[in-house]
Structure 1
Amino acid sequence: MTTQHKPRYVTRAINEKLNIEIKVLLWKLLDSIEVKRKDKMDYLQVFEIVNQGNNIKIINRQEQPAMTEELMKMKQGSMNIEDTIVWIIDDLEYRTMLFPKDY
């Protein structure tokens, strides 16, 4: 089973606080990171969402091996998202999207 086909879950807090567009975007970004990094992908991916006026910037970090990458800048549009950090944890059987405080 490829990791892209693992079941994906979100915590209740993620479901309540993040709109569907951001959740889908983060899953797609995770898929592209996986393709790009292959075996150098850490089990914990950190996504930092930063407001910059009418734009948002998404930065990805991981610890092993240490990497930080600005993934994208885009117009905020109707998403109305606050600065936040989202984790996606990949365990052996599934992936979970959560806020650090949910851990």
Structure 2
Amino acid sequence: MDRKMFSGNRYMTKGIQTFLRPDLQILLWDLIDGLDVEKDYLQVFKLEMKEEDLKLTHQQENPDYSVSYTVKVDHPSIHQEEKIFVIDDGDYATMMFASEY
């Protein structure tokens, strides 16, 4: 029986829990849930502060997908460019900073 990608339990690393605001964690999960293309097991998010705004780019390889958003944030938890991976291993999905991989 095939399971729908990113429909199982969801986890995050200590780094995400500590350094990424909860509202941004929820936003990333919502962007994955809202994908209208077939989902790759690896979802990649690039976050970069641009003055008062957060530029967020959501990507996957297969099928090729990339879209960028600008998010207004009052108190950013990101102060440098960050890359976040969300990996579905078939049983559960884990959100982590690329540096934690």
TM-score, normalization: structure 1?
0.84
Give 1:19-58 correspondences, 5 Å limit: 19-33=21-35, 36-37=36-37, 40-58=38-56
Q: How much has 1:2 moved relative to structure 2?
A: 4.5
The answer for unaligned runs of 5 or more in structure 1 is none
8 Å CA contact 2:43–2:86 kept in 1: the answer is: yes
* Equivalent position of 1:17 in the other structure: 19
- Pick one of 55, 74, 77 that aligns with 2:74: 77
* Equivalent position of 2:63 in the other structure: 65
Deviations 1:14-65 (A, max 9, x none): 11111111111111111112xx11xx22100000111111011110111112
The answer for unaligned runs of 5 or more in structure 2 is none
* Equivalent position of 1:97 in the other structure: 95
Q: Which amino acid aligns with 1:13?
A: G
Find the aligned partners of 2:50 and 2:73 in 1 and give their Cα distance: 9
Q: Give the root-mean-square deviation of aligned CA atoms.
A: 1.6
Deviations 1:49-103 (A, max 9, x none): 1111101111011111222211x21212123422211110011111100011211
- How many positions carry a matched residue from both structures? 98
TM-score, normalization: structure 2?
0.86
